[in-house]
Structures are given as structure tokens and as C-alpha cells.
């Protein structure tokens, strides 16, 4: 039953994908070649103007280009042109740094906030205001104060991914069932031991959920940040290809960004399942 | 261009020589060198400077010198003189301009053809020739390049010609003294309109249209405002001007979010290439020889690393000299087109640089001066920009035009440097020029400003 459901779902997925490719191909067929254009003039013009080719590439074009990238992911043609593998590596390294920094700060801080209703109430308005700020809004401030674009990008990832973790950790800690804490208290368990053996395991699923939301945000932010600071990374790649109006490469980058984002999310989903417990 | 002629080359007026000076013509040079790289004959140029100084020292009187040269011939004279004077050593001492304090430099650029000398300095080896290891870094936009240069991530940068003035004055940034040792390119912009406006060529009909410019402190902004105002439109009230990064301009034009733009080149040609716009007018037709982009650095960089700065300026002047020659343009287009540099189709860059281009309406036009390269930082350019900054309310109150111009545009230093390189820079740092038929006199900026009817009330 379950396998047949899975099989049927897979078939529907494939059918949807093929239908999507078909519609895409049809939609980007373009029009007839432009009539009465002198050959000398046509030589100076692009395919959009001469062949009536659509400005949007079709799936075949994208596939061919993707194959080209997959075949040489690590080429290095100088500071402004590197292979997609290298670009993704830079982006993942930046995300990891900013994200780990956020974990190191948000989880202990969230713990403290969650254990004290007073601090929790006092800090709440600040967190609520800082949480919805876009990474692009932080960027000029970071560039101006930190005076280093690489660090600024990491800072922006940090500042955007810290809030969901902070909120979830404090929420998870605050909503540990009162009975468990009371039992620990009756058994005269010390504060630190109580934090590590009772509260942490109980709050772990909520904390991990926060971390999972955060990694998604961090990955969203990196593209925007790299488009601004430039130099390296998948966001820079998107910007550089956009400069050349190469929509084909932009689509490839979009697909890759989606894939890597999904992978990061899946890793944390696995970890979440490890710490989940039945009640 | 006069300032790049070799004054010691007897054949200089007869035919254009090649850049390295070892061949009679560019064609011969191309045959000789299959690679892109060619070392200009720097040493020979320096030798010429030293030798002529020597001849003048030995025969201080012109008549006597001429008689001597006539009787023995110039080459014999030189050979005789070098017998008792170590010409080679003197030339070396003269050319030795001090080791750079910092060899590994980072220079930022925006991927447009204006940056040609900065970019091609890397693939064609101009930086290496002057003992520098320069990494040219592509940057996302003018505000970012400004911040990165201020933050010392870049040692020097490609900037719009008015930007160093704006930064020095603290407009839109903290005031930090910046300098311009060299102009990158002159001309090289254009007004491009969307295809649907191909029958609305009279600017008087443009009321209510939306135009994009690359940055507020840009020649593009001032030239578009000037052009509109000369046709009776107030750029602040009759049309909408938006700051849009160049690559987004073509996309916005296609999406009909804007009606046109005054953009740096390869962007204009790119809109034509993609069939979304046509060239209404080249900026050259508004003001022939106007500055566009500059090569800029902070004053702090000059004081901490004067030799690096001098070497960098020399490399840029050299590259500019190379780019100013029409016969080199095709080669340059190929060198700067890859993804590591401008990242644009070679055809587009070639049309911009060679000046034989499709106009977007089905015609092919030829204008070899569509974009040109001349490094001399005329201080009168800076004065003109200041008058326009004041005209459109970017600076308020009294402006000491010449003091600011002389602080930011290093005409005197560049002049000295060019003389040392054996080039012939202009004698004055100010010149009058005409913008849409109206003469600008750098000595009377306030009168010039007062003569405009359309301006922002201050």
C-alpha cells in the first residue's frame, strides 16, 4: 500500500515535471526571423533581434549549459570568473560561519531568556522589531561599520539567522512541562544539572526546529548578500551572469541554490528526528 | 592624439606607428606578435628624453646644436655623445622611479567599457610592466565601489568622474579626500530609448517619461539633465530620473518600466543588440570630449605608498595611450570580453570600441570617436561638474571651484609624470569647451551657472 502510494506519487511528479518542460519549451519558441534586415546589420545584432529568438532560454538550452558547468565545476579563470563548484563552496563556507556564530550565541542566550519570564518579557519587543528586518537593510550599516565586505556578509547571515533560533530556544525552554521540573526539584537536582539533563532534552526538538528555520533563512540571505558585496559565491555568480543578461546561467544558479538549500534543510531534519521523543 | 606621439620619431606624422615602436605600422606589429601582449618601448622613450636633455646641455644654443646635428647627422651625434656620457646608465637612473612600497594591489571596476584601461591593464600586462601585481575586481555598483575603496579593500578604483569630488566634499558619504590622477575615457555614453518611442525623437515631447541614470553623482546624470533642460524640460519636474544599476537598465527597458536611459557604453549597445532599444543620440553629440569615468584613489594611499601610486598611474596612462589607438581596439574588445572581465558578447564591445555600430533602427553608423581614451585630468572638467552639482542642488552655498578642482584632479602631478614618460601633456590644466554649442569658461563658473534658466531653486 505504502510502496504503491510512493510509486504513484513518483509517477505524478515525473509527469508534472515533463509537462512543465514541455510548456516551457513551447513558451520559449520565439517568433520568425526578422524580415528585411541587411546581413551587415544582422551581424551586429543579437539572436533576439535577428532570429526572433525568445529572450527566455528553453529547457534544452539550459540543460546543455548545465552539462557544461557540471563537467568543469572547479575551473578558475581569475578573480572574477570561477567554476560553480568553487562559487558554491564559498557560499556554503560563508553560511556555515555566520550560522555557527548564530548558534553559539542564540542557544545559550535563548536558554537564559526562556528560564526567566522577566527577561523574556523585557527582551521581547526588541526581538520582535529586529526579527523581520531584511538582510539588504543591514548591509549598508554593516559595510559602513565593519569596513570589510567579507565580514559584513557573514555578519548579515548571523543577524538574520539568530532570531528564529533565539525565539524557538526560549519558547522551548519556557514550555518544558512543569511536572518534570517539579520532579527534578523534589529530587534536589542542582540548577546546572537540571538545565542539561531535564530542560535541554525536553526543549531539543523545539530548538532544532528553530535551527532548521534559521538555516533556510541563512541560505536565502547569502544570495542577496553576495549579489551586493560581490567577488565570490553563488550570489555573485547570479549577478555576474545577469550583467551579461545570460538568463540561462541565472536559471542554472536558481536550480542549484534550490538543491543546496534542500540538502541543508534535510540534514537538519535528520538531526531533529534524532532528538525527537514520544511523550 | 597629440599627447601620445613620440616626439623623437621622424615618421610620426606620416603613418600611425605601432604601440611597441619596433614596427613601422600596426599591421606589421600584429604580424610580428601573435600574442596579445606587447611591450611598448618605454626604455627607448626615456632614452629619447635623456638624450635630448644631453644634447641641449652640450649645445645650449639652438643654432649651434642644429649646425652640429646637420653636419654629422643625428645618430652619429648621439653615438659621439654616448662615447663620453654613459647614456644607458643615465636612462636607467631616469627610468628608475623607486620601488613600489606595495606590489600586490587591488583595483575595483564596474563592468562597462569605460573601465577599458583599468581592465585591460591586467590581461595585456600593463600593470606587470610597471612592476605591479594588480588584481582587478569586478564590483556590483557605484555605492559599493565607493564604500570598498573608502574601507581600503581596494587600493584604487574605477569611479564616475564626479564621484571623487562628491566623496571629497562629503556628498552622500563621509568627507574623505580623494584624488583623480587620470581620466579613464572621454565620450562613450548615449541616450537609448525604447523601440516604441522611435517616432518621438524630439525631446520636447518627452514630458512625463521615465529615464534611468547609473548614479546621482555621474556625468550621465548631469548630461541628461543638461540635454533635457536645453530642450525646455525641467528634469526635476517634467520627467522622472531614477538611479538604476546598468545591467538592470536593459531588463527594465524590456519590461517597459522606463522609457529610456543615459547609460555608459556597452549598455546602450547591449539594448540595441537585444532589440529592445535604439540609440537616440551619442553623448559625444552633446559634448564632444566630455569626461566619463575616472581612475581614483584616496589621498591617504598617495601619502602611504607614493611609488605604488605613481607606478599605477603610469600603467593606467600607458594603457590609456594604447586604448586611444583605433587599430588596437578590436584586440582590446577580445581581451576584455570574457566572464572574468566585462562578461559581454565580443560583438557588442567591438561595436562600441571601433565605433562601427548598429543604431537599433536598421542603420549602421560609423564614429571612431564614439568612445575615446585620454588620461589628462583637466581641472576645468571638475569645475564644470561643480557648476552642475550646484545647478541641481547637490551642493549648496558658495563653492570655491578652482580650489576643489585642484585638490581632487591632480593635473600638475599627472603632467609631470607624463613628461617623465616622454609624453607631451597639455601646458595648461584648464581649457574652455562647448556643451551643446554653449561655451564654458572655467574662469567664470558663476556667470556660467547664472546663465541657465532651468535649474533647481536654491
Chain A with chain B: Cβ pairs closer than 8 A: 104
* Interval B416-441: pLDDT, tens: 989 988 888 898 999 999 999 999 99
Q: Which of A274, A237, A205, A219 is nearest to A96 (CA)?
A: A219
Cα–Cα distances (Å) from A76 to A72, A245, B346, in that order, read 10, 22, 21
- Look at residue A118 and tell me if it is in a domain: yes
For the cut 70, the answer to whether the pLDDT of residue B102 exceeds it is yes
Q: Which pLDDT belongs to residue A115?
A: 86
Residues from chain A contacting residue B358 (CB–CB below 8 Å): 41, 44-45
Question: Given an 8 Å threshold on Cβ–Cβ distance, is B339 in contact with A46?
Answer: no
Q: Which pLDDT belongs to residue B179?
A: 93
Question: Which of B84-98, B164-178, B278-292 bottoms out in mean pLDDT, i.e. has the lowest?
Answer: B84-98
The CATH code of the domain that includes A130 is 1.10.3720.10
Burial class (CB in 10 A: 0-12, 13-18, 19+), A203: buried
The mean pLDDT value of chain B amounts to 84
Residues from chain A contacting residue B153 (CB–CB below 8 Å): 148-149
Q: Which pLDDT belongs to residue B60?
A: 66
Q: Which pLDDT belongs to residue B1?
A: 44
- Look at residue A169 and tell me if it is in a domain: yes
* Interval B318-355: pLDDT, tens: 999 899 998 999 999 999 998 889 889 999 999 999 99
Q: With b meaning 16 or more CB within 10 Å and e meaning fewer, what string describes B413-436?
A: bbbebbebbbbebeeebbeebebe
Q: Which of B100, B417, B399, B153 is nearest to B298 (CA)?
A: B153
Q: Which pLDDT belongs to residue B91?
A: 54
Which residues in chain B (387-446) have CB-CB distances under 8 A to chain A? Answer: none
% of residues, chain B, pLDDT over 90: 57
Place B4 in a pLDDT band, splitting at 50, 70 and 90. low
Tell whether B152 is within 8 A of chain A (Cβ): yes
Distance between CA A104 and CA A106 in Å, rounded?
A: 6
Angle subtended by helix axes A59-71 and A2-27, to nearest 10: 110
Q: Which pLDDT belongs to residue B245?
A: 83
For the cut 70, the answer to whether the pLDDT of residue B54 exceeds it is no
Judged by DSSP in three states, A92 sits in helix
Cα–Cα distances (Å) from A19 to A9, A16, A24, A114, A248, in that order, read 15, 5, 8, 49, 20
Q: Which pLDDT belongs to residue B13?
A: 46
Cα R_g (chain B), whole angstroms: 23
Which range of residues forms the domain containing residue A225?
Answer: 84-275
Q: Which pLDDT belongs to residue B98?
A: 75
The side-by-side arrangement of strands in the sheet containing B277-282 is B240-243, B210-213, B260-264, B189-194, B277-282
Distance between CA A201 and CA A196 in Å, rounded?
A: 7
B104-188+290-344+371-426 matches B189-287+354-366 in fold:
yes
Place B48 in a pLDDT band, splitting at 50, 70 and 90. low
Mean pLDDT for the stretch of residues B267-275: 91
DSSP per-residue codes, A165-210: HHHHHHHHHHTS-HHHHHHHHHTT--HHHHIIIIIHHHHHHHHHHH
- Look at residue A227 and tell me if it is in a domain: yes
DSSP per-residue codes, A108-174: HHHHHHHH-HHHHHHHHHHHHHHTT--HHHHHHHHHHHH--HHHHHHHHHHHHHHHHHHHHHHHHHH
Place B7 in a pLDDT band, splitting at 50, 70 and 90. very low
Question: Which of A3-7, B86-90, B274-278 bottoms out in mean pLDDT, i.e. has the lowest?
Answer: B86-90
- Look at residue A14 and tell me if it is in a domain: no
For the cut 60, the answer to whether the pLDDT of residue B8 exceeds it is no
What is the dotted CATH code of the domain comprising B189-287+354-366? 3.40.190.10
Instruction: Compare all CA atoms of chain B with the CA of A224 and give the residue at the minimum distance.
Output: B140
* Interval A24-39: pLDDT, tens: 988 888 777 766 778 8
Question: Given an 8 Å threshold on Cβ–Cβ distance, is A80 in contact with B363?
Answer: no
For the cut 50, the answer to whether the pLDDT of residue A190 exceeds it is yes
Residues from chain B contacting residue A41 (CB–CB below 8 Å): 358, 362-364
Which three cell numbers, joined as nine digits, stand for A162? 539568530
Distance between CA B104 and CA A224 in Å, rounded?
A: 29
% of residues, chain A, pLDDT over 70: 98
Which three cell numbers, joined as nine digits, stand for A94? 560563508
- The DSSP symbol for A82 reads B
Distance between CA A50 and CA A31 in Å, rounded?
A: 10
Instruction: Compare all CA atoms of chain A with the CA of B357 and give the residue at the minimum distance.
Output: A44
- The DSSP symbol for A34 reads P
Which three cell numbers, joined as nine digits, stand for B322? 594604447
Total tally of structural domains belonging to chain A: 1
Q: Which pLDDT belongs to residue B354?
A: 92
Q: Which pLDDT belongs to residue B23?
A: 54
* Interval A56-82: pLDDT, tens: 888 888 888 888 888 888 888 877 788
Q: Which of the residues A45, A82, A140, A151 would you substitute to probe the B interface, choosing the one with the greatest number of B C-beta atoms within 10 Å?
A: A45
* Interval A222-262: pLDDT, tens: 888 888 877 788 998 998 888 888 889 999 999 999 999 99
Minimal C-alpha gap between A100 and chain B (Å): 25
For the cut 50, the answer to whether the pLDDT of residue B39 exceeds it is no
Q: Specify whether the CB–CB gap between B374 and A271 falls below 8 A.
A: no
* Interval B194-249: pLDDT, tens: 999 989 999 999 999 999 999 999 999 999 999 999 999 999 999 999 998 887 89
B223 CB-near residues (< 8 Å, 6+ apart) = B189, B262, B283, B286, B287, B290
Q: Specify whether the CB–CB gap between A225 and A154 falls below 8 A.
A: no
A216 CB-near residues (< 8 Å, 6+ apart) = A261, A264, A265
Minimal C-alpha gap between B210 and chain A (Å): 22
* Interval A92-127: pLDDT, tens: 999 999 999 999 999 999 988 988 889 888 988 998
- Look at residue A10 and tell me if it is in a domain: no
Distance between CA A201 and CA A234 in Å, rounded?
A: 37
Question: Which of A51-55, A192-196, B126-130 bottoms out in mean pLDDT, i.e. has the lowest?
Answer: A51-55
* B27 φ/ψ angles, rounded to the nearest 5 degrees: -65, -45
Cα–Cα distances (Å) from B39 to A165, B89, B167, B289, B386, in that order, read 59, 21, 36, 28, 39
Chain centroid to CA B57: 36
Q: Which pLDDT belongs to residue B88?
A: 58
Which three cell numbers, joined as nine digits, stand for B426? 597639455
Place B96 in a pLDDT band, splitting at 50, 70 and 90. low
Q: Which pLDDT belongs to residue B5?
A: 52
Tell whether B300 is within 8 A of chain A (Cβ): no
The domain locations on chain B are 2-95, 104-188+290-344+371-426, 189-287+354-366
Q: Which pLDDT belongs to residue A197?
A: 87
Place B86 in a pLDDT band, splitting at 50, 70 and 90. low
Place A52 in a pLDDT band, splitting at 50, 70 and 90. confident
Q: Specify whether the CB–CB gap between B94 and B310 falls below 8 A.
A: no
Distance between CA B137 and CA B31 in Å, rounded?
A: 32
Minimal C-alpha gap between A168 and chain B (Å): 35
Instruction: Compare all CA atoms of chain B with the CA of A55 and give the residue at the minimum distance.
Output: B274
The mean pLDDT value of chain A amounts to 87
Q: With b meaning 16 or more CB within 10 Å and e meaning fewer, what string describes B90-116?
A: bbeeebeeeebebeebbbbbbbbbbbb
Homologous superfamily of the B104-188+290-344+371-426 domain (CATH): Periplasmic binding protein-like II (3.40.190.10)
Q: Which pLDDT belongs to residue B87?
A: 57
Q: Which pLDDT belongs to residue B36?
A: 41
Q: Which pLDDT belongs to residue A165?
A: 92
Most confident of B62-76, B77-91, B183-197: B183-197
Q: Which pLDDT belongs to residue B126?
A: 92
* Interval B140-197: pLDDT, tens: 888 889 988 998 999 999 999 999 999 999 887 678 999 999 999 999 999 999 999 9
* B183 φ/ψ angles, rounded to the nearest 5 degrees: -80, 145
Residues from chain A contacting residue B247 (CB–CB below 8 Å): 242-245
Q: Specify whether the CB–CB gap between B160 and B180 falls below 8 A.
A: no
Q: Where are the beta strands (DSSP E) in B33-154?
A: 104-109, 133-138
The side-by-side arrangement of strands in the sheet containing B133-138 is B133-138, B104-109, B156-160, B291-298, B178-187, B371-372
Amino acid at each position: 500500500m505504502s510502496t504503491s502510494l510512493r510509486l504513484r506519487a513518483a509517477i505524478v511528479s515525473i509527469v508534472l515535471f515533463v509537462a512543465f518542460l514541455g510548456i516551457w519549451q513551447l513558451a520559449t519558441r520565439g517568433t520568425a526571423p526578422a524580415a528585411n534586415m541587411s546581413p551587415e546589420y544582422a551581424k551586429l545584432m543579437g539572436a533576439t533581434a535577428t532570429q526572433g529568438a525568445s529572450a527566455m532560454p528553453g529547457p534544452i538550452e539550459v540543460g546543455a549549459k548545465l552539462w557544461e558547468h557540471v563537467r568543469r565545476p572547479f575551473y578558475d579563470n581569475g578573480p572574477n570568473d570561477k567554476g560553480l563548484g568553487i562559487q558554491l563552496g564559498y557560499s556554503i563556507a560563508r553560511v556555515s560561519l555566520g550560522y555557527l556564530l548564530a548558534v553559539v550565541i542564540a542557544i545559550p542566550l535563548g536558554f537564559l531568556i526562556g528560564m526567566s519570564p522577566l527577561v523574556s518579557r523585557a527582551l521581547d519587543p526588541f526581538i520582535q522589531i529586529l526579527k523581520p528586518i531584511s538582510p539588504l537593510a543591514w548591509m549598508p550599516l554593516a559595510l559602513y561599520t565593519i569596513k570589510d565586505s567579507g565580514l559584513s556578509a557573514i555578519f548579515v547571515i548571523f543577524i538574520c539567522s539568530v532570531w528564529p533560533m533565539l525565539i524557538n530556544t526560549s519558547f522551548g525552554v519556557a514550555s518544558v512541562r512543569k511536572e518534570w521540573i517539579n520532579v527534578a526539584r523534589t529530587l534536589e537536582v542542582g540548577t546546572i544539572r537540571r538545565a542539561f539533563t531535564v530542560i535541554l532534552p525536553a526543549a531539543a526538538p523545539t530548538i532544532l526546529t528553530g535551527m532548521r528555520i534559521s538555516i533556510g533563512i541563512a541560505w536565502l540571505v547569502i544570495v542577496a548578500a553576495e549579489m551586493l558585496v560581490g567577488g565570490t559565491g553563488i550570489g555573485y555568480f547570479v549577478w555576474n551572469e545577469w550583467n551579461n543578461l545570460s538568463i540561462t546561467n541565472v536559471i542554472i544558479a536558481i536550480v542549484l541554490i534550490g538543491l543546496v538549500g534542500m540538502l541543508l534543510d534535510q540534514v537538519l531534519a535528520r538531526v531533529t528526528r534524532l532528538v525527537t521523543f514520544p511523550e | 592624439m597629440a599627447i601620445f606621439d613620440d616626439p623623437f620619431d621622424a615618421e610620426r606624422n606620416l603613418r600611425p606607428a605601432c604601440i611597441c615602436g619596433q614596427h613601422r605600422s600596426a599591421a606589421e606589429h600584429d604580424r610580428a606578435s601573435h600574442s596579445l601582449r606587447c611591450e611598448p618601448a618605454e626604455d627607448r622613450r626615456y632614452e629619447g628624453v635623456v638624450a635630448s636633455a644631453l644634447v641641449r646641455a652640450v649645445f645650449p644654443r639652438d643654432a649651434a646644436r642644429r649646425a652640429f646635428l646637420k653636419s654629422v647627422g643625428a645618430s652619429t651625434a648621439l653615438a659621439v655623445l654616448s662615447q663620453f656620457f654613459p647614456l644607458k646608465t643615465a636612462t636607467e637612473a631616469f627610468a628608475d622611479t623607486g620601488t613600489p612600497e606595495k606590489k600586490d594591489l587591488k583595483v575595483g571596476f564596474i563592468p562597462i567599457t569605460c573601465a577599458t584601461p583599468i581592465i585591460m591593464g591586467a590581461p595585456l600586462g600593463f600593470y606587470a610592466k610597471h612592476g605591479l601585481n594588480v588584481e582587478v575586481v569586478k564590483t556590483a555598483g557605484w555605492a559599493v565601489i565607493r564604500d570598498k575603496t573608502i574601507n581600503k579593500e581596494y587600493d584604487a578604483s574605477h569611479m564616475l568622474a564626479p564621484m571623487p569630488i562628491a566623496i571629497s566634499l562629503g556628498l552622500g558619504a563621509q568627507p574623505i579626500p580623494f584624488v583623480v590622477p587620470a581620466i579613464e575615457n572621454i565620450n562613450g555614453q548615449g541616450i537609448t530609448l525604447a523601440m516604441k518611442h522611435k517616432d518621438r525623437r524630439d525631446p520636447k515631447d518627452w514630458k512625463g517619461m521615465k529615464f534611468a541614470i547609473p548614479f546621482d553623482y555621474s556625468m550621465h546624470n548631469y548630461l541628461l539633465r543638461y540635454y533635457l533642460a536645453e530642450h525646455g524640460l525641467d528634469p526635476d519636474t517634467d520627467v522622472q530620473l531614477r538611479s538604476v544599476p546598468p545591467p538592470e537598465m536593459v531588463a527594465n527597458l524590456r519590461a517597459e518600466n522606463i522609457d529610456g536611459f543615459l547609460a555608459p557604453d556597452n549598455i546602450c549597445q547591449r539594448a540595441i543588440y537585444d532589440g529592445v532599444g535604439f540609440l537616440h543620440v551619442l553623448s559625444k553629440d552633446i559634448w564632444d570630449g566630455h569626461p566619463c569615468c575616472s581612475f581614483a584613489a584616496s589621498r591617504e594611499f598617495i601619502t602611504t605608498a607614493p611609488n605604488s601610486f605613481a607606478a599605477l598611474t603610469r600603467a593606467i596612462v600607458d594603457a590609456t595611450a594604447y586604448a586611444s589607438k583605433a587599430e588596437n581596439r578590436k584586440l582590446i574588445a577580445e581581451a576584455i570580453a570574457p566572464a572574468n572581465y566585462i562578461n559581454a558578447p565580443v560583438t557588442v564591445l567591438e561595436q562600441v570600441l571601433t565605433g562601427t555600430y548598429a543604431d537599433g533602427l536598421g542603420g549602421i553608423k560609423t564614429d571612431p570617436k564614439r568612445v575615446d581614451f585620454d588620461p589628462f585630468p583637466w581641472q576645468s572638467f571638475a569645475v564644470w561638474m561643480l557648476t552642475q552639482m550646484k545647478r541641481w542642488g547637490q551642493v549648496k552655498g558658495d563653492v570655491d571651484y578652482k580650489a576643489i578642482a585642484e585638490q581632487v584632479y591632480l593635473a600638475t602631478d599627472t603632467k609631470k609624470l607624463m613628461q617623465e614618460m616622454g609624453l607631451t601633456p597639455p601646458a595648461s590644466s584648464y581649457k574652455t569647451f562647448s556643451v551643446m554649442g554653449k561655451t564654458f569658461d572655467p574662469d567664470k563658473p558663476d556667470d556660467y551657472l547664472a546663465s541657465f534658466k532651468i535649474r533647481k531653486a536654491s
